[in-house]
Amino acid sequence: MNTELSEVTGSEANPAPKPQDTPLLEIRGLKIEGFADEKWNPIIKGVDLTLHKGEVLGLIGESGAGKSTLGLAAMGFARAGVRFAGGSVTFDGMDLLKMPERKRRKLWGTRMTYVAQSAAASFNPAHRLIEQTVAAAVREGLKSESEAIADAKDLYAQLQLPDPEHIGSRYPHQVSGGQLQRVMTAMAMSPRPDLIVFDEPTTALDVTTQVEVLMSMRKIVEEFDTAAIYITHDLAVVAQMADRIKVLRYGEEVEEAETREMLAHPKQDYTKSLWSVRSLRKEADPSEDVVLRAEGIDAAYGNKVQVLHDVSIDLPRGRTVAIVGESGSGKSTMAKVITGLLPPVRGEISFEGETLPPKLKDRSKEQLRRIQMIYQMADTAMNPRQTVGEIIGRPLTFYHGLKGKALEKRVVELLEQIELDEGFYDRLPGELSGGQKQRICIARALAADPDVILCDEVTSALDQIVQEGILKLLMRLQKEKGIAYLFITHDIATVEAIADEIVVMYQGRVVEQGLKDRILSPPHPDYTELLLSSVPEMDPDWLTHLMEERGPHPS
């Protein structure tokens, strides 16, 4: 077991990188193009990047800015439909773009690793988690199988996975999205690489788990002198992780500076706009009637593992109720019960006073139309072989009978509502950024013209500016059409912006619920206090101080 990782360092947050004669990674004049609309279009437009061992570079910018493309390019990799059009990528003195692919592949998964934004789309469903975690280290002879397995279990513990000794025996579908994201992080850390590219690695995590994972990542980087590129839209997170921040927009660099300087004195107007704080929601009216009610819900998977215990939630018409809690608390399971995807063991769901059939297949088309759901994992929620037009168009045809020109017109209108143009109509999901995929899922739900939308972490993959646009869109639709939202999220800033009421869940039970202002005002129950105290602040020293306060956590 790796006991080194369980030591909490007392070093200053975001220390300056050690002086190096030669950078570990050097990118110069990089140009990357993507094929769309029968032509090659620029994605990255002559970007430079330098990274030394032991240094973390934060890469931020709105959805579609080219962050993930640049992160993959740092490993000499380009997705299908994307090509390098100029410039160089030099890793440890080796020109990756001139190197034969077989040699680059020897580096991938060992000296260079990648933590993807969507873990669910990145694991092989036929293999156990532990097998996939240790595969690269064992294959390349970096460790024996027994050594790699012992180290993987230690990493699982460091990343706060439940039952770290045995969770590796599960298959990907048997763990939550947040747990799967942490397993992928352990997989990337296993070979002790020289470079790790983190692409939104804490997007799917609740705030309490996120803090533990960030602590573990910081210790890995510091203790093993690992270089990292940290891609995120969460400015408070990048403030804890990065030595320097590079801002991208439309495939070009906006500005770059040391983290403290960037946070204190951003130079460009675009960067300043990222720092703005949103506030969208006015005080709730508690007299609103209830459109959806869950009463006394018990739920289990396979009648063996009980997940929900006597959960009751009221959703007022035209209002937003936010469900918050850590990964595994039962938030997404509750949404599945409401939609009929998981019939409850006990209790009932009623819509406008009428009890809904517990199973999805027994509900009428009208009942299905009026309650829609937007899923957390946009990658796995869309058919990769269907175009955007087909994905959004299907509910328009199914629920409203639209065809031909009328169908095309409505799809374009929905695209415009989510701030995408008609040029996306014929694109496939693989041609979209993570944020764009999530917006398509939102448009698909809106296409049904529902009364209730269950939003399962719908803005977690979006940058701050696009988040604000989507939230404003949802609020406008709510005001115009009276839509009610059940908003599942771990983002307290989102809760503060849009929620009327808050339900706090822990281990399948409701800890407390009520109007937003009451829940967010002290005094708090212990668990609610833990949630609120785990929200990262725009202070580079915040994580270090928290690590010192909480002390070492068990491995």
Phi and psi (nearest 5°) for 283?
-60, 140
As a whole-number percent, the residues of the chain with pLDDT over 70 amount to 91
Q: What is the pLDDT of residue 18?
A: 45
What CATH number does residue 127 fall under?
A: 3.40.50.300
Query: Does 278 have pLDDT greater than 60?
Result: no
262 and 313 housed in the same domain: no
- The DSSP secondary-structure symbol of 18 reads P
pLDDT of amino acid 21 = 67
Q: What is the mean pLDDT of residues 390-417?
A: 95
Residues 203 and 252 in one domain: yes
CA distances from 285 to 51, 318, 391, 483 (A): 52, 10, 36, 15
Residue 34 has pLDDT above 80, yes or no: yes
Are 366 and 465 in the same domain? yes
Give domain status of residue 86, yes or no. Answer: no
What is the pLDDT at residue 394? 96
**What is the pLDDT at residue 469?**
75
Domain finish residue from 274, 305, 326? 274
pLDDT of residue 276: 59
In a domain, 348, yes or no: yes
Residue 285 has pLDDT above 60, yes or no: no
pLDDT at 551 over 70: no
Q: What is the pLDDT of residue 280?
A: 52
Query: 225 and 311 in one domain?
Result: no
Task: Kindly state whether residues 320 and 263 are assigned to the same domain.
Answer: no
Give Rg (Cα) of the chain: 23
pLDDT at 291 over 90: yes
Higher per-residue confidence, 536 vs 392:
392
Q: What DSSP element (H or E) covers 170? A: none
Determine the average pLDDT of the residues in 235-253.
89
248 and 328 in one domain? no
DSSP 119: G
Helix (H, G, I), strand (E, B) or coil at 197: strand
Given a contact cutoff of 8 angstroms between Cβ atoms, the answer to whether 140 and 181 are in contact is no
Confidence bin at 49 (pLDDT 50/70/90): very high
Q: Is the pLDDT of residue 536 over 60?
A: yes
- Please report, in angstroms and rounded to a whole number, the separation of the first and last CA atoms in the chain: 9
In whole angstroms, give the CA distance from residue 183 to residue 132.
9
What are the tens digits of pLDDT across the range 489-511? 877 878 888 899 999 999 999 98
Tell me which of 274 and 456 has the higher pLDDT. 456
Distance set, CA 189 to CA 70, 133, 146, 473 (Å)? 21, 9, 17, 39
Instruction: Give the separation between CA 218 and CA 227, rounded to whole angstroms.
Output: 11
Closest to 12 measured CA to CA, from 550, 553, 542, 552: 542
Statement: residue 11 has pLDDT above 60: no
Q: Do the domain assignments include residue 121?
A: yes
**pLDDT score of 6 more than 70:** no
DSSP-assigned letters across all residues of 292-338: EEEEEEEEEETTTEEEEEEEEEEEETT-EEEEE--TTSSHHHHHHHH
Tokens of 464: 């701050």
Residues 270 and 302 in one domain: no
- Is the pLDDT at 405 greater than 90? The verdict is yes
Count of the separate structural domains present in the chain: 2
pLDDT computed for residue 554 by the predictor: 40
The answer to whether 490 and 207 have CB atoms below 8 angstroms apart is yes
Q: Which domain holds residue 128?
A: 3-21+53-72+96-274
Omega cis (within 30) before 523: yes
With beta carbons less than 8 A apart as the criterion, state whether 458 and 438 touch.
yes
- Residue 204 banded pLDDT, cuts 50, 70, 90: low
pLDDT at 437: 87
CA distance to 22, 52, 222, 241, per residue, from 19 (Å) = 9, 8, 15, 19
State the Cα–Cα distance between residues 320 and 316, nearest whole angstrom. 8
Q: What are phi and psi of 213, to 5 degrees?
A: -65, -40
- Dist CA 339 CA 357 (whole Å): 10
Give yes or no for residue 297 having a pLDDT over 80.
Answer: yes
Counting Cα atoms < 13 Å in the Cβ hemisphere of 183 gives 34
**Quick check: is 163 in a domain?**
yes
Residue 153's CB is within 10 A of a number of other CB atoms, namely 22
In a domain, 541, yes or no: no
Residues 193, 3: Cα–Cα separation, whole Å: 18
pLDDT score at 2: 38
3-class SS of residue 195: strand
Considering the chain, what is the average pLDDT of its residues? 85
pLDDT at 138: 92
Q: Are residues 318 and 239 in the same domain?
A: no
Assess if residue 105 is contained within a domain: yes
Overall average pLDDT of the 97-116 stretch: 92
Cβ atoms of 339 and 292 closer than 8 Å: no
Residue 39 in any domain: the answer is no
State whether residue 414 is helix, strand or coil. Answer: helix
| Together in a domain, 236 and 343 | no
Q: What global pTM score does this model have?
A: 0.60
Residue 447 lies in a domain: no
Q: What letter represents residue 23's amino acid?
A: P
Residues 67 and 171 in one domain: yes
DSSP string spanning 209-275? HHHHHHHHHHHHHHHTT-EEEEE-S-HHHHHHH-SEEEEEETTEEEEEEEHHHHHH---SHHHHHHT
Which residue among 247, 274, 301 closes a domain? 274
Question: From the CB of residue 247, how many other CB atoms can be counted at a distance below 10 Å?
Answer: 24
- pLDDT of res. 214: 82
State residue 33's pLDDT score.
94
Q: Give 181's pLDDT tier (boundaries 50, 70, 90).
A: confident
Tell me what pLDDT residue 292 has: 95
Confidence (pLDDT) at 303: 67
The pair of three-digit structure tokens given for residue 239, joined into one six-digit string? 């403030």
Question: Could you report the per-residue pLDDT of 364-386, keeping only the tens digit for each?
Answer: 999 999 999 988 778 788 999 99
Residue 9 has pLDDT above 60, yes or no: no
Task: Name the CA dihedral angle for 381, 66, 246, 117, rounded to a multiple of 10 degrees.
Answer: 20
CA-CA distance, 156 to 150, in Å (whole number)?
10
pLDDT for res 7: 31
Tell me, yes or no, whether 256 and 320 share the same domain: no
Task: Tell me which of 324 and 550 has the higher pLDDT.
Answer: 324
Pairing of strands 94-95, 82-91: antiparallel
254 and 308: one domain? no
